[in-house]
Chain A
Amino acid sequence: MKARVVVMPKKDVLDPQGKAVSGALHALGHANVEDVRIGKLIILDLGDDLNSDEATSKVTEMCEALLANTVIEEYSFELEG
C-alpha cells in the first residue's frame, strides 16, 4: 500500500514561495492566475501488512509528529493499492 501525503501551508499563512511564483507567472503574461500555493507531495510505501484503517491511523500519526508542522501547515492523504 502507498500513501500520497499532501502538505500545504494553512490558508491564513502567507506563502512566500507561492507569492513569488504567482508574480513570475504574471510577468509571463498569465494574468488569470489569481493565487499560487506551494506545498509538498510525500509518497510513502507502506508495504503489504496494513489494512486501510491501520494505514490511515499510522499515516495520521506520521503527519502529526513529523511530516507536517500543524502550527503553519495542513495535511491530507490518499491511500493507494
Chain B
Amino acid sequence: MRWAVVTFPGSNCDQDCVDQLGRVLNQDVVSVWHGDSELPEVDCVLLPGGFSYGDYLRAGSIARFSPIMKAVTAFANKGGFVLGICNGFQILLEAGLLPGAMQRNIGLSFICESVSLKVENKSSALTCQVPSDTQVLEIPIAHMEGNYTADEETLKALNENGQVLFRYCTEQGNVNDAANPNGSAGNIAGISNANGNVFGMMPHPERASENILGGTDGAYLFQSLIATMEGQR
C-alpha cells in the first residue's frame, strides 16, 4: 500500500513513521510537505507527531490551515484513510475531521512514558489485526496536550457508535482514574470518525513497531490498516 506522511514545520516523528512503514512494514511511503496543495496518489495519509508551528495558539490550530490540509480534508471526505498520531490527532481535531478538543494534561506536565491501552473496538480498520487474545497494548505517549474533552452528547455518540478505539488502562486492562495519565474524558486515548476512515490517537505506534524499540504492539495498528486497504482493492 502507498502512504503519504505529511511534514509540518515542527513535526518530529515524520521520519520515524516513514522508517517504520517503509523499512519494517515494507510499505511504499511518500513524504509530503505541508506547503504542497495536492496529495500524491496514496491509500492512506498519516499526520505525524511533533510540535507543528511550535504549538503556538493551540496545538494543531495553525497546521490545520496548511495548504496540504485542504487536500487531506477532501481525501478524508471521499473516504480515504487518515491517521493522526499525537500532534496529528490534535490537527485533525482542530480541522474538525474528528470531534472534540485537546486541553493541557491535567497535571500540567509533559508526559513521556509507556502506557497500557485497552482496545475497545477490534472491528475498526485500525484495530482489526489486533489478535483476539490481546486486550491490552503497550504503546508510549509523549505529549503536553493530550487531555481529550468533548461535550456529553459527543462522548455519548462516540461510545454508542464504537468510535472509541483505545482507553488508558492498567496493565490488567482496568480503565480507571489511576490509569488515566492526562485527565482525558473516559480515559480516551484514540477515536475514529463516524465513517470509520479517520483516526486519531495520542500514543505513538511508530515507537512500538519493532523489538529493538522495546515492543511491537504498535505494528498491529499499521498492519490493520494495511489489511483493510488490501481487502478493499
Contact = CB atoms under 8 A, between A and B. Distances in A.
Binding partners A and B: yes
A72 B149 contact: yes
Interface of A: 9, 13-14, 16-17, 20, 40, 66-67, 69, 71-72
B100 A71 contact: yes
Given A16-B108, A16-B147, A20-B108, A72 B103 contact: yes
Contact of B183 (A14, A20, A66): A14
A79 to B, nearest CB: 21
Interface residues of B, number: 20
Interface in B105-120: 105-108
Shortest beta-carbon contacts, A-B, top 8: A71-B101, A72-B101, A16-B104, A16-B106, A69-B101, A20-B108, A16-B108, A69-B58
A71 B58 CA distance: 12
Interface of B: 57-58, 61-62, 65, 93-94, 100-101, 103-108, 147, 149-151, 183
Contact of B57 (A16, A17, A67, A71): A67
A16 B58 contact: no
Nearest to B104: A16
Nearest to A65: B65
B58 A17 contact: no
Contact of B149 (A13, A40, A66): A13
